[in-house]
Structure 1
């Protein structure tokens, strides 16, 4: 009540000083008592954020809002999140494995075309680093772009060649007969090694590489690493 009286006094004073039109004055008086039309939306956004332990950003929260039957734009969700001071956790910088010549080993066969019509057409791989209690671990997976299925993975305390070779051998052991997928990576030194190249060639795997310093060429695996670290590691 006191809050309302103060605001009516301020508006009345503004009307006199600025010669505000009387219709504008009464418009503000009428709507001053209106409730926040986003109050329920704000609650849902906050609930979704905390239910997922801060892992969801505005895009995923927007998708979940749509799943719950709310019609809302992602820009509105972002604005409301900023007003509520909630923000998805910032991702950790990835391990960089590049050593060697630029673009001398394999062409970029993928060319950012991540669409597939069946399994085992296009695979992507990379190596990422985790820091755990003063120790470093390295994860090397292969993802199938058809369904983001984890074809194989290896974990090691060192980013050695064996980390990548063992990952590739695991994937080849479950590969359907006659399938010859493209296996895309960055220009990391492991992928430029002749032993790795020979392993792929002997099994009919077409090697593909990103352009130097262009993470968007392998965006799917980059996004996978970001989600793994944000949702399964750094929130704990």
Structure 2
């Protein structure tokens, strides 16, 4: 199956986890990819994992100027793109009484402002008939006691994706979102938990998932790639849960 033959796809946050898994699959199906990230280790990993000719770009979604730089680089080096996966983001959890401006701004800048500004810069580069996928989360549906800020940012970007879907429909550009649940790769990064806390939280989360396990990066990426491909040619403004049934409970 070569769903991406002759197509060019940009994945923000594409140097690790779901993004990198998706980039590898797109290349395997005949496409060209550009991925962004901030960690040098992840940039190096992506550079080794992807074939020569793939673009591996350092880009910080929290930096307002970086969106303009990304737009310029994509237009210069790729021309038009057929797919855009806005996947850059992170989560940090903690008691609501300890939320401060740094925690709020940190997640809001990356999870909300970043995709908004990137989308504004990249809309002209998306070819008519293209597709956009936004990584949201199941968090807004769960009411997690320590996840108010993260859930708010993911709820905001889900709302934005529906607006973008309406706005870009006249160009036959589809916009959808995926809402991952617990995905094993990097799930606990940045939470500030020790090994014992990670183990305890892992078991607690698994007990809430009907399928009884964490998902993996490839499983989440497959859903995003379906939405990016022409197989989803009549799907726009939708959100696909990738959560093992977690939101059923």
User: Same fold by TM (over 0.5)?
Assistant: no
* Greater percentage in helix: 2
Q: TM-score, normalised by structure 2?
A: 0.28
Larger radius of gyration: 1
**Could you say which structure has the greater relative contact order, defined with CA pairs below 8 angstroms and 6 or more residues apart?**
2
Q: TM-score, normalised by structure 1?
A: 0.29
